[in-house]
Amino acid sequence: MANPVTATIRAYQMGFGDCFLLSFGYDDASARHILIDFGSTGMPDDTKVSLDAVAADIALQCGGALDIVVATHRHKDHISGFATGADGKGSGDVIRGLKPKRVIQPWTEAPDAPKGWKGPDGTKRANAFAAYQSSLENMHAVAQAVVDRLDRKDGFDPRWRLADRLRFVGEDNIKNLSAVKNLMTMAGAAKNNIFVYHGCVLDLSAILPNVTVHVLGPPTLQQSASIKTYAKSSDDYWLKARLLAALAATDNVSANKTSMLFPDLKSTDTFRKTKLPTEMRWVAERVDIAEQDQMLGIVTALDNVMNNTSVILLFEAGTKKLLFPGDAQLENWSYALQSDMADLLNDVDLYKVGHHGSLNATPKSMWKRFKKRGKTSTPERLKTVMSTMAGKHGGKNGAPTEVPRIPLVNELKADSTLFNTQDLKPTQLCQTITINLQ
Amino acid sequence: MTEIQPVRKLTIIAKDPGLRIGNDGPMVFAQVDVPAEILAPGPTGYRIKVVDYNATERRAYAARQSYQSGDILLDPFAPIEGEALTDRDYQVRVIGNPNFHAQNCYAIAMRTLGLFERALGRRVSWSSGGHQLHIVPHAFALANAFYSEPDRALMFGYFFDEEGKPIFTSLSHDVVAHETTHAVLDGLRSRYTEASGPDQAAFHEGFADIVAILSIFSLPEVVAAGLGITDKLPGVGEPLAFITEDKVTPAAIRDSILLGIGAEIGMATGAGRGALRQSVKLEPRPDILNDPDMAEAHSRGEVVVAAMAGAFVKMWTTRISHLGTFDGLGYNMTAVIEEGAKAAAQLLQMSIRAIDYCPPTDLDFGQFLAGLLTADRELVPDDSRFGYRELVRQSFGDFGIVPPPGQTDGDGCWPHFAASDALRYSRSNAEALTRDVDECFRFLWENRDALNITERGYTQVLSLDASLRIDPDGIPFRETICQYVQMGHFFGSELMAICKIDPLPEGFTTRTSADLFGGGVVVFDQYGRVKYHIGNGLIDGERQKRRLEYLRDNGQLRAQGGDERSRFANLHLARMGG
Ligand SMILES: [Zn+2]
Ligand SMILES: [Zn+2]
């Protein structure tokens, strides 16, 4: 059986998004190609790169056939490229035409609970599984409602300084039906869609010989119940949030002559925002902002929950280890880091920087495990690859929530060889990293 | 000419809309005392300004009630002729009117503020510097309610239950009293909202619940309903009513709605799982605070609530057991309720006065306990009659909360200031010392060595407050509470050299910088001499190291203040989400 001798990683310009083509070259001159995520929430202004151009390059590089597609989680910035076009010529149609043999996704995308998966108490699995998925659906709906409201003329106070951030996170969390459907069917038979969770056995030897693929995340509900920091995602909470967000997004709630909350009030007993008595104005302005801040808080919370559904894959080929954690954040990592799989991380050779360089997607306790970190002269020095665009996600520059987090970027630069899509020139498609596996 | 009314009565929903008379009976309304004043629309009074603006609907509801007719103070939502507080039609009518919600908030907030002012014997300011705190009873369609210092406001949201019925957080006495307490506590100790160790944020939450729970026991009809009594309480001269023993066992009281918070919200958000919080049911364990899931502020705060509620249950049931039973009938109900009111009032007063004896920064639970015991000893030097202090200390001890070892005396109280003779009073004017912050600062500064106040930071007197007490002969006298804080910006190398933190916490280098806080409370006796000095030193390495490690682990080390609103907003949002 052939052995892999090289790994080539192409990190495409996605603006804020991820798209990596991982190609293994074998000693019999054959190759295997794995596409890990393909999505963007917006390209840099000056780039000439488009999703179509990237799709075309992927087709070219893989010689017209993909072996595996990995969609780490359902965020737009990871799957929007899989959407098909009405004319059959969308970037997702191109990928579909490459006939991937397998599609790998987290268990949260499965139609039914996969084999071996366990609910919080290890028993009521079907119920818990369905409840969790309906939470995710409700989260999409909250995001949708928030974006709808941003679109409405008087939905949010236009002077609110965080409106762009809310729209960005909101849009990233809207359900991307076309991409989801395409992922469900592009590998042909349903059995070719594999839904993974921490510690599950992923046997890809038939299509990816002599490469071991470890699944470090996401944890199942049973596993995540054992770590208390796991994001609270009570089903009932998200159902309520969905109803409230939808209510707040309807035109009538502010446009009606009468109050929806107190329908018996005469219109003369209410004051529209524009006609408030003087003594109410100062605090009313602040209540508006407080409401908007909370919507941002809610959307940020659901964004985190979705990020924590990310598949974390560790490819072991020849003497090397390549780590692709999607957007996994601390809660997802926590389980992997306290499991007996954590030791696998010690000699990672390539690390795809989690969640576009946000602070809590590269937990200190993980980063510290990487033994190959070090100054430029370090032999076999760790390589890191990051796909990001500053100023889109998270807090303002300098805030701990900025993405990418500048102190983290500095550390990546100091202690690893960093490949950053932000450094690509406007005409450049991707960063290319080659790793000798021998 | 009519006599000026000393207080005004206003109708509120007592405890929580989830408290019903009998199983599915009417809600419990009560008429409570609030200060007499001529109210402007809102209602707007001298401390509270209700603005009924709804951000989700982008509209405000006009305040249309008359609160006075000439000099006669009115309660516009009092039942009309022939109506009772328990009539369903009355309740439906009142609840349908947003102006009632506004009044409910106003009255509960004023009542809560009044509890503090009475216990402390002085006015308590809001920390914003303003005189009126805004209350927004229908701020937004969100299951959240919070205090926001920069907005000078309490904001109450609303949401809907499974049947689409609106649930108003502004109708829950528990929630309104909790949020008002946040605001009052922030006025008393403005630094307790800073990032600190695990206990400080938790204390804000726990203390707010303690006040919310204990403040209801002064309303007899509410306590009766909470104990499951469906009959009206007997009035003066009417025959006694009785309560069976099974209704006042420690277990029954722990289970009762009286010791829970937010029954209706809890039912609506948690798919019928009961109150939002029922801290008293926490199983005592001396190591409970080390549990990883006790790190979140509300959960951790519940431990203090549980300790206090545990003491209350013990106190009340002990007092009940001293009442005789009537053969086959149980206890005299009125007496049972009175004993509860006394026990609650005692603990509430103790809790509020304790704040005067708590350091102004980086509070921990043990220090609060020492403050509690000290405050009570100041008020009632002899504990032998009821053994309250011993009971409180025991109850806190069950949860691993003990007075700071080595810094407190045998009673668990702060010791009197020992080096009083080393202090130089001669250059200070005793009268000015207790009235003027600059004069007081001069005294602290001149005596910085004896008081162990370091020069390695910036020191400021935050407040000078009078604390009125009564001596054993019944003569009132005044002590003065001075609150000062210290701030300093330190680099790792200075943490080592000056604070003696060696080795530095993991992750720190000699160039890592950190803001440290310290400060203390100096209590001057009636002669202007230092009686207590209760403080956290700015360069106390051991304590600062613990704080820095905690902040590091919680990603708060470099958190810029800035986002004051979101502190309580996010905390409470997550909590109601369960
Ligand atoms: Zn992403
Ligand atoms: Zn994501």
DSSP assignment of B222-255, as one string? HHHHHTT--SPPP-TTSPP-EE-GGGGSHHHHHH
| Residue B72 in domain | no
| Rounded Cα–Cα distance for residues B63 and B40 (Å) | 9
| A396 vs A261: CA distance, rounded Å | 36
Residues A161 and A179 in one domain: no
Of B58, B134, B566, Cβ closest to residue A297: B566
Distance from CA of A112 to the nearest CA of B (A): 25
Asked if residue A317 belongs to a domain, the reply is: yes
The pairing of beta strand A31-38 with beta strand A68-70: parallel
The total of structural domains in chain A comes to: 2
Residue A306 CA to residue A108 CA, distance in Å, equals: 10
Point out the residues of chain A with pLDDT beneath 50: 228-233
The CA distance from A248 to B141, in Å, is 7
Q: Is residue A126 part of a domain?
A: no
Interface test with A, best of B39, B44, B59 (most A CBs within 10 A): B59
Q: Residue B4's CB: how many other CB atoms inside 10 A?
A: 8
Query: Is A21 a member of any domain?
Result: yes
CA of A402 to the centre of ligand 2 (A): 15
- Give the whole-angstrom CA distance, residue B447 versus residue B422: 9
CB A388 within 8 A of CB A403: yes
User: In this structure, is residue B230 part of a structural domain?
Assistant: no
Which of A261, A270, A278, A411 best probes binding to B when mutated, by most B CB atoms within 10 angstroms?
A: A261
B216 in Cβ contact with B14 (< 8 Å) = yes
**Minimal Cβ distance to B61: which of A270, A298, A359:** A270
| Residues A295 and A323 occupy one common structural domain | no
| Residue B206 in domain | no
Same domain, yes or no, for A410 and A269? no
- The CA distance from A192 to A68, in Å, is 10
Residue A400 and residue B555: Cβ atoms within 8 Å? Answer: yes
Q: Do A332 and A298 sit in the same domain of this protein? A: no
Residues A246 and A295 in one domain: yes
Structure letter (DSSP) for residue A424: -
Residue carrying structure tokens 């609907």 = B57
C-alpha distances in Å from residue B436, one per residue of A141, B486, B524: 58, 19, 13
Rg (CA), chain B: 24
**Residue at which a domain ends, from A288, A303, A318:** A303
CB B53 within 8 A of CB A284: yes
Least CB–CB distance from A240: residue in B56, B143, B574: B143
Please give, rounded to a whole number of angstroms, the shortest distance from the CA of B57 to a CA of chain A.
Answer: 4
Whether A325 maps to a domain, the answer reads: yes
Q: Residues near A278 by Cβ (< 8 Å), separated by ≥ 6?
A: none
Q: Are residues A284 and A423 in the same domain?
A: no
Residue B486, in any domain of the structure: yes
Q: Comparing C-alpha atoms, which of A82, A98, A107, A88 is closest to residue A34?
A: A98
Closest CA to B512 of B557, B546, B542, B455: B557
Residue A250 has phi, psi (to 5 degrees) of -70, 150
Residues A235 and A217 in one domain: no
Residues A74 and A209 in one domain: yes
Judge whether B446 lies within some domain: yes
Its sign, for the CA torsion A420, A422, A425, A429, is: positive
Burial call B369-407: b when 16+ CB within 10 Å, e when fewer: bbbbbbbbbbeeeebeebebbebbbebbbbbbbbbeeee
- Residues in chain B where the model's pLDDT stays below 50: 1, 271, 560-562, 577-578
Q: Residue B481 forms beta bridges with which residues?
A: B465, B523
CB-CB: which of A229, A269, A294 is closest to B573?
A294
**Nearest-CA distance A399 → chain B (Å):** 8
What is the model's pLDDT at position B39? 95
3-state secondary structure B255-313: HCHHHCECHHHHHHHCCCCCCCECHHHCCCCCCHHHCHHHCCHHHHHHHHHHHHHHHHH
Final residue belonging to a domain, choices A276, A303, A330: A303
What is the radius of gyration, based on Cα positions, of chain A? 23
Q: State the pLDDT at residue B281.
A: 87
Count how many pairs of residues, chain A against chain B, have C-beta atoms within 8 Å.
144
A269 with A360, same domain: the answer is no
In a domain, A279, yes or no: yes
Percentages (nearest 5) of helix, strand, coil residues in chain A: 40, 15, 45
Quote the minimal CA–CA distance from B196 to chain A in Å.
18
Token pair of B514, please? Answer: 């950190």
In a domain, A407, yes or no: yes
Nearest Cα of chain B lies from the Cα of A424 at a distance, in angstroms, of 31
CA distance B30 to B18: 14
| Boundary of a domain, candidates A261, A278, A303 | A303
Q: Which of B502, B498, B482 is nearest to B435 (CA)?
A: B482
CA atoms of A396 and A387, how far apart (whole Å)? 19
DSSP output for A11-53: EE--SSS-EEEEEEEETTS-EEEEEEEE--S---TT----HHH
Q: What is the sign of the dihedral through the CA atoms of A59, A61, A63 and A69?
A: negative
How far is the centre of ligand 1, averaged over its atoms, from the C-alpha of A294 (Å)? 22
Q: Are strands B530-536 and B476-491 parallel, antiparallel or unpaired?
A: unpaired
Note the Cα A309 to chain centre separation in Å: 8
Q: What is the DSSP letter of B20?
A: B
Say whether both A259 and A196 belong to one domain: no
- Cα A322 to Cα A9: distance, rounded to the nearest angstrom: 10
Taking alpha carbons only, the member of A179, A290, A295 closest to residue A244 is: A295
Total structural domains within chain B: 1
Q: Which residues contact B493 (CB under 8 A, 6 or more apart)?
A: B510, B511
Q: Is B27 part of any domain?
A: no
Dihedrals phi, psi of B295, to nearest 5 degrees: -85, -30
How many CA atoms are closer than 13 Å to the CA of A316, on its beta-carbon side? 12
**Helical (H) or strand (E) element with B209:** helix B198-214
Domain-embedded: residue B367: no
Q: Is residue B109 part of a domain?
A: no
A264 → chain B, closest CA residue? B96
State residue B551's pLDDT score. 83
Parallel, antiparallel, or unpaired: how do β-strands B53-54 and B145-148 relate? Answer: unpaired
Distance CA A413, CA A381 (A): 12
Asked if A359 contacts A332 with a C-beta cutoff of 8 angstroms, the reply is no
Reduce the secondary structure of B507-559 to three states and give it as a string.
CCCCCCEEEEEEEEEEEECCCCCEEEEEEECCCCHHHHHHHHHHHHHCCCCCC
Residue A186 lies in a domain: yes
Measure the CA–CA gap between B46 and B133, rounded to whole angstroms.
9
β-pairing, B153-160 vs A430-436, is unpaired
Residue-range definition of the domain harbouring residue B524: 421-543
**A290/B44 touch (CB, cutoff 8 Å), yes or no:** no
Bridge partner list, B463: B483
Please report, for the domain that includes residue A88, its CATH number: 3.60.15.10
CB-CB: which of B55, B62, B566 is closest to A291?
Answer: B55
CA of A373 to the centre of ligand 1 (A): 24
pLDDT digits 0-9 by tens, B372-392: 999 999 888 888 877 889 999
- B124: nearest Cα among B138, B136, B134, B110: B110
Contact A232 B55 (CB under 8 A): no
Please indicate, yes or no, whether residues A207 and A109 belong to a single structural domain of this protein: yes
Which chain B residue is nearest to residue A301, measuring alpha carbons?
A: B574
- Residues bordering ligand 1, an ion, CB closer than 5 Å: A 77, 327
Ligand 2 centroid–CA A67 distance in Å is 24
**Residue A21 domain boundaries:** 4-121+175-223+308-436
Question: Is the distance from CB of B293 to CB of B304 less than 8 angstroms?
Answer: no
Task: Report if residue A149 sits inside a domain.
Answer: yes
Same domain for A270 and A205 = no
